[in-house]
Protein backbone atom coordinates (compact mmCIF):
# COMPACT_ATOMS: atom_id res chain seq x y z
CA UNK A 1 0.00 0.00 0.00
CA UNK A 2 1.27 3.48 -0.89
CA UNK A 3 1.16 5.82 2.08
CA UNK A 4 -0.36 9.26 1.58
CA UNK A 5 2.13 12.12 1.56
CA UNK A 6 1.30 14.44 4.44
CA UNK A 7 2.90 17.61 5.76
CA UNK A 8 3.25 18.38 9.46
CA UNK A 9 2.92 22.14 9.19
CA UNK A 10 3.97 22.86 12.79
CA UNK A 11 6.28 20.98 15.15
CA UNK A 12 9.14 21.78 17.55
CA UNK A 13 12.06 19.46 16.82
CA UNK A 14 14.45 21.54 18.91
CA UNK A 15 12.57 21.01 22.17
CA UNK A 16 14.29 18.94 24.88
CA UNK A 17 11.71 16.16 24.49
CA UNK A 18 13.42 15.23 21.20
CA UNK A 19 17.07 15.68 22.26
CA UNK A 20 19.35 13.24 20.44
CA UNK A 21 16.43 11.58 18.65
CA UNK A 22 15.87 13.78 15.61
CA UNK A 23 17.08 11.25 13.04
CA UNK A 24 14.75 8.58 14.38
CA UNK A 25 11.82 10.98 14.65
CA UNK A 26 12.22 12.14 11.05
CA UNK A 27 12.55 8.52 9.90
CA UNK A 28 9.35 7.51 11.71
CA UNK A 29 7.54 10.46 10.17
CA UNK A 30 8.57 9.41 6.69
CA UNK A 31 7.54 5.81 7.38
CA UNK A 32 4.09 7.16 8.33
CA UNK A 33 3.74 9.10 5.07
CA UNK A 34 4.84 12.50 6.40
CA UNK A 35 7.16 13.79 3.71
CA UNK A 36 7.75 17.32 5.02
CA UNK A 37 7.54 19.21 8.28
CA UNK A 38 8.08 22.75 9.54
CA UNK A 39 9.96 23.03 12.82
CA UNK A 40 9.16 26.26 14.64
CA UNK A 41 11.60 28.44 16.55
CA UNK A 42 9.88 30.18 19.49
CA UNK A 43 12.82 32.30 20.72
CA UNK A 44 15.08 34.21 18.34
CA UNK A 45 18.16 33.23 20.35
CA UNK A 46 17.53 29.61 19.32
CA UNK A 47 17.44 30.38 15.59
CA UNK A 48 20.82 28.80 14.86
CA UNK A 49 19.76 25.51 16.45
CA UNK A 50 16.47 25.33 14.58
CA UNK A 51 18.08 26.34 11.29
CA UNK A 52 20.64 23.55 11.80
CA UNK A 53 17.88 20.97 12.14
CA UNK A 54 16.37 22.07 8.83
CA UNK A 55 19.76 22.01 7.14
CA UNK A 56 20.47 18.51 8.42
CA UNK A 57 17.31 16.85 7.11
CA UNK A 58 15.67 16.73 3.71
CA UNK A 59 12.03 17.71 3.95
CA UNK A 60 12.49 19.69 7.18
CA UNK A 61 11.90 23.45 6.96
CA UNK A 62 11.85 26.08 9.68
CA UNK A 63 10.13 29.24 10.81
CA UNK A 64 11.17 31.75 13.45
CA UNK A 65 9.54 34.22 15.80
CA UNK A 66 8.96 35.03 19.45
CA UNK A 67 6.16 33.01 21.02
CA UNK A 68 3.69 35.28 22.85
CA UNK A 69 4.26 33.46 26.13
CA UNK A 70 7.97 34.30 25.88
CA UNK A 71 7.59 37.97 24.92
CA UNK A 72 8.10 39.21 28.51
CA UNK A 73 11.32 37.18 28.84
CA UNK A 74 12.94 37.91 25.48
CA UNK A 75 14.19 41.05 23.73
CA UNK A 76 11.50 42.49 21.49
CA UNK A 77 11.83 41.10 17.98
CA UNK A 78 13.07 43.51 15.32
CA UNK A 79 11.57 43.49 11.85
CA UNK A 80 15.02 43.76 10.26
CA UNK A 81 16.21 40.70 12.17
CA UNK A 82 13.27 38.59 11.05
CA UNK A 83 13.68 39.75 7.46
CA UNK A 84 17.38 38.84 7.53
CA UNK A 85 16.65 35.35 8.92
CA UNK A 86 14.04 34.86 6.18
CA UNK A 87 16.76 34.94 3.53
CA UNK A 88 17.70 31.37 4.43
CA UNK A 89 16.40 29.05 1.69
CA UNK A 90 14.60 26.74 4.12
CA UNK A 91 13.12 29.47 6.36
CA UNK A 92 9.48 29.45 5.27
CA UNK A 93 7.35 31.37 7.80
CA UNK A 94 7.25 34.19 10.36
CA UNK A 95 6.36 33.00 13.86
CA UNK A 96 5.01 31.61 15.82
CA UNK A 97 3.71 34.86 17.15
CA UNK A 98 0.34 35.91 18.48
CA UNK A 99 -1.51 36.45 21.73
CA UNK A 100 -1.85 34.19 24.78
CA UNK A 101 -3.87 35.57 27.66
CA UNK A 102 -4.38 32.22 29.40
CA UNK A 103 -1.23 32.27 31.52
CA UNK A 104 0.50 35.47 30.36
CA UNK A 105 -2.22 38.13 30.19
CA UNK A 106 0.02 40.50 32.18
CA UNK A 107 2.21 40.93 29.08
CA UNK A 108 -0.76 41.61 26.76
CA UNK A 109 0.49 45.04 25.63
CA UNK A 110 3.96 43.70 24.81
CA UNK A 111 2.42 40.69 23.03
CA UNK A 112 0.37 43.00 20.84
CA UNK A 113 3.46 45.04 19.95
CA UNK A 114 5.37 41.87 19.12
CA UNK A 115 2.52 40.57 16.97
CA UNK A 116 2.42 43.77 14.92
CA UNK A 117 6.20 43.61 14.37
CA UNK A 118 5.92 40.04 13.13
CA UNK A 119 3.07 41.05 10.81
CA UNK A 120 5.28 43.73 9.26
CA UNK A 121 8.03 41.14 8.75
CA UNK A 122 5.51 38.86 7.04
CA UNK A 123 4.51 41.71 4.74
CA UNK A 124 8.10 42.54 3.83
CA UNK A 125 9.17 38.94 3.22
CA UNK A 126 5.97 37.63 1.65
CA UNK A 127 6.16 34.64 4.02
CA UNK A 128 3.08 33.42 5.89
CA UNK A 129 2.50 34.55 9.45
CA UNK A 130 2.10 31.69 11.95
CA UNK A 131 -0.37 32.69 14.67
CA UNK A 132 -0.83 31.29 18.17
CA UNK A 133 -4.05 32.52 19.80
CA UNK A 134 -5.38 31.52 23.21
CA UNK A 135 -8.07 33.28 25.23
CA UNK A 136 -7.57 36.43 23.15
CA UNK A 137 -10.16 36.16 20.40
CA UNK A 138 -11.39 39.76 20.50
CA UNK A 139 -7.95 41.38 20.43
CA UNK A 140 -6.71 38.90 17.85
CA UNK A 141 -9.65 39.61 15.55
CA UNK A 142 -9.19 43.35 15.93
CA UNK A 143 -5.42 43.37 15.30
CA UNK A 144 -5.49 40.99 12.35
CA UNK A 145 -8.33 42.96 10.74
CA UNK A 146 -6.62 46.33 11.32
CA UNK A 147 -3.27 45.14 10.08
CA UNK A 148 -4.60 43.36 7.01
CA UNK A 149 -6.45 46.53 6.02
CA UNK A 150 -3.17 48.43 6.35
CA UNK A 151 -1.31 46.00 4.10
CA UNK A 152 -2.11 42.43 3.07
CA UNK A 153 -0.23 39.38 4.34
CA UNK A 154 -0.84 35.63 4.43
CA UNK A 155 -1.40 33.71 7.63
CA UNK A 156 -2.20 30.38 9.27
CA UNK A 157 -4.02 30.15 12.58
CA UNK A 158 -1.89 27.36 14.00
CA UNK A 159 -3.45 24.69 16.24
CA UNK A 160 -6.77 26.46 15.92
CA UNK A 161 -8.91 25.98 19.05
CA UNK A 162 -10.60 29.37 19.29
CA UNK A 163 -14.24 30.25 18.74
CA UNK A 164 -16.27 30.41 15.56
CA UNK A 165 -16.14 34.22 15.39
CA UNK A 166 -12.34 34.27 15.16
CA UNK A 167 -12.41 31.42 12.64
CA UNK A 168 -14.82 33.33 10.43
CA UNK A 169 -12.79 36.53 10.74
CA UNK A 170 -9.59 34.75 9.81
CA UNK A 171 -11.17 32.94 6.88
CA UNK A 172 -12.69 36.22 5.74
CA UNK A 173 -9.19 37.66 5.51
CA UNK A 174 -8.07 34.74 3.36
CA UNK A 175 -6.20 32.98 6.18
CA UNK A 176 -5.87 29.25 6.88
CA UNK A 177 -6.87 27.13 9.89
CA UNK A 178 -4.57 24.35 11.07
CA UNK A 179 -5.96 21.18 12.64
CA UNK A 180 -4.07 19.62 15.55
CA UNK A 181 -4.59 16.48 17.61
CA UNK A 182 -7.07 18.36 19.79
CA UNK A 183 -9.63 17.87 17.00
CA UNK A 184 -9.50 14.11 17.63
CA UNK A 185 -10.55 14.41 21.28
CA UNK A 186 -14.05 13.24 22.13
CA UNK A 187 -15.11 16.60 23.60
CA UNK A 188 -13.98 18.62 20.56
CA UNK A 189 -17.20 18.40 18.57
CA UNK A 190 -17.63 22.17 18.33
CA UNK A 191 -14.10 22.51 17.00
CA UNK A 192 -14.60 19.78 14.41
CA UNK A 193 -17.77 21.57 13.29
CA UNK A 194 -15.77 24.76 12.67
CA UNK A 195 -13.34 22.84 10.46
CA UNK A 196 -16.19 21.08 8.66
CA UNK A 197 -17.80 24.44 7.83
CA UNK A 198 -14.54 26.05 6.66
CA UNK A 199 -13.60 26.07 2.98
CA UNK A 200 -11.61 22.90 2.50
CA UNK A 201 -8.93 24.75 0.57
CA UNK A 202 -8.08 26.62 3.79
CA UNK A 203 -7.29 23.63 6.02
CA UNK A 204 -3.86 22.45 7.13
CA UNK A 205 -2.86 19.70 9.55
CA UNK A 206 -0.13 19.67 12.21
CA UNK A 207 1.09 18.04 15.39
CA UNK A 208 2.45 20.95 17.48
CA UNK A 209 4.66 18.16 18.78
CA UNK A 210 5.87 17.35 21.37
CA UNK A 211 2.46 18.54 22.62
CA UNK A 212 -1.16 17.56 21.93
CA UNK A 213 -0.83 13.97 20.76
CA UNK A 214 -3.97 12.80 18.95
CA UNK A 215 -6.03 9.76 19.80
CA UNK A 216 -4.98 7.00 20.36
CA UNK A 217 -1.73 8.54 21.69
CA UNK A 218 -3.34 11.19 23.88
CA UNK A 219 -1.27 11.91 26.98
CA UNK A 220 1.95 10.69 25.41
CA UNK A 221 4.71 12.69 23.77
CA UNK A 222 3.58 13.77 20.32
CA UNK A 223 5.79 13.57 17.22
CA UNK A 224 5.42 14.36 13.50
CA UNK A 225 4.52 10.78 12.57
CA UNK A 226 1.28 11.16 14.51
CA UNK A 227 -0.05 13.80 12.12
CA UNK A 228 -1.20 10.77 10.13
CA UNK A 229 -3.63 9.87 12.94
CA UNK A 230 -5.07 13.37 13.07
CA UNK A 231 -5.44 13.38 9.30
CA UNK A 232 -7.11 9.98 9.26
CA UNK A 233 -9.66 10.91 11.93
CA UNK A 234 -10.39 14.31 10.41
CA UNK A 235 -10.82 12.76 6.97
CA UNK A 236 -13.50 10.52 8.43
CA UNK A 237 -15.28 13.48 9.99
CA UNK A 238 -15.25 15.30 6.65
CA UNK A 239 -16.42 12.14 4.86
CA UNK A 240 -13.26 12.04 2.78
CA UNK A 241 -10.87 9.21 1.99
CA UNK A 242 -7.61 9.58 3.98
CA UNK A 243 -5.54 9.88 0.81
CA UNK A 244 -7.82 12.65 -0.47
CA UNK A 245 -7.53 14.56 2.79
CA UNK A 246 -3.74 14.14 2.67
CA UNK A 247 -3.65 15.46 -0.89
CA UNK A 248 -5.94 18.36 0.02
CA UNK A 249 -3.92 19.55 3.02
CA UNK A 250 -0.65 19.09 1.17
CA UNK A 251 -1.89 21.19 -1.75
CA UNK A 252 -3.08 23.83 0.72
CA UNK A 253 0.30 23.81 2.47
CA UNK A 254 2.11 24.32 -0.84
CA UNK A 255 -0.16 27.23 -1.72
CA UNK A 256 0.57 28.99 1.57
CA UNK A 257 4.17 27.96 2.29
CA UNK A 258 5.48 28.62 -1.18
CA UNK A 259 9.17 28.31 -0.23
CA UNK A 260 8.56 24.78 1.01
CA UNK A 261 6.36 23.74 -1.93
CA UNK A 262 7.03 20.30 -3.37
Annotated binding site for a divalent metal cation: 10, 12, 96, 132, 158, 208
User: 112 — phi, psi (to 5°)?
Assistant: -65, -40
For residues 12 and 49, the answer to whether their CB atoms sit within 8 Å is no
Q: Name residues whose C-beta falls within 8 Å of residue 239's C-beta, 6 or more positions apart in sequence.
A: none
119 vs 145: CA distance, rounded Å: 12
200 vs 210: CA distance, rounded Å: 26
User: 93 — phi, psi (to 5°)?
Assistant: -160, 160
86 vs 259: CA distance, rounded Å: 10
- Which of 204, 243, 206, 203 lies closest to 222 in space, CA to CA? 206
Annotated binding site: 10, 12, 96, 132, 158, 208
Amino acid sequence: MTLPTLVDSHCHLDFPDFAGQTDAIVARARASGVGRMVTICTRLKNADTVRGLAEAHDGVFWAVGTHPMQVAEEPMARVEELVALARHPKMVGIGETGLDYHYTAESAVAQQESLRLHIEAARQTGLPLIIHSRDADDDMTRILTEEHAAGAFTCVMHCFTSGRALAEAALGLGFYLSISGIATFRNSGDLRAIFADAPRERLLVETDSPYLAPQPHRGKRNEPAYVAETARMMAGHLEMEPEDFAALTTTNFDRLFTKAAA
